[in-house]
């Protein structure tokens, strides 16, 4: 599901296990473009990513700093990231840069709502 960064996103249309992660990222101004909780959609659909994910589109200038900010925000909420590995269900961050289109996309993978700690 596409999630352009505007205030009228219908969170009820998102997978139930990823809504708060998307809401948190968008509350801090990040442009989420796709998400899924890895369990709510029919996994035989070839377009379904079979693990929790939120994709965030970033600008070329400052993209590394934005990734650091997103990492800090999610760590503050209790997420312990690991290096990208064989298990996409483990919390990870992966930045992809396309120099032709000049689009950067961050995958926040392996993170679901139940993993978020309160704001205290």
Each domain of the chain, given as residue ranges in start order, spans: 12-100+110-115
Q: What is the pLDDT of residues 7-51, one digit of tens each?
A: 689 999 999 999 999 999 999 999 999 999 999 987 778 888 999
Q: What percent of the chain lies above the pLDDT cut of 70?
A: 92
Q: Which residues fall within 8 angstroms of residue 28, CB to CB, at 6 or more apart?
A: 69, 73
Tokens of 105: 């996309």
Supply 7's token pair: 């205030």
pLDDT of residue 49: 92
CB 91 within 8 A of CB 109: yes
Q: Helices in the chain by DSSP H: which ranges?
A: 19-27, 63-76
Q: Is the pLDDT reported for residue 118 higher than 50?
A: yes
Let me know if 3 is exposed, middle or buried by CB neighbors in 10 A (0-12, 13-18, 19+).
buried
Answer whether 96's CB lies under 8 Å from 105's CB: yes
* pLDDT tens sequence across 39-57: 998 777 888 899 999 999 9
Q: Which run of H or of E encompasses 31?
A: strand 31-36
CB 34 within 8 A of CB 3: yes
């Amino acid at each position: 599901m596409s999630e352009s960064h505007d205030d009228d996103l219908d969170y009820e249309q998102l997978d139930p296990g990823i809504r708060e992660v998307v809401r948190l990222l968008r509350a801090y101004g990040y442009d989420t473009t796709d998400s899924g909780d890895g369990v709510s959609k029919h996994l035989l659909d070839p377009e379904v990513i079979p693990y929790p994910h939120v994709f965030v589109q970033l600008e070329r200038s400052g993209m590394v700093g934005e990734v650091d900010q997103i990492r800090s925000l999610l760590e503050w909420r209790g997420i312990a990231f690991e290096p990208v590995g064989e298990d996409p269900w483990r919390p990870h961050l992966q930045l992809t840069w396309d120099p032709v289109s000049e689009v950067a996309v961050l995958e926040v993978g392996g993170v679901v709502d139940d993993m978020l700690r309160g704001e205290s």
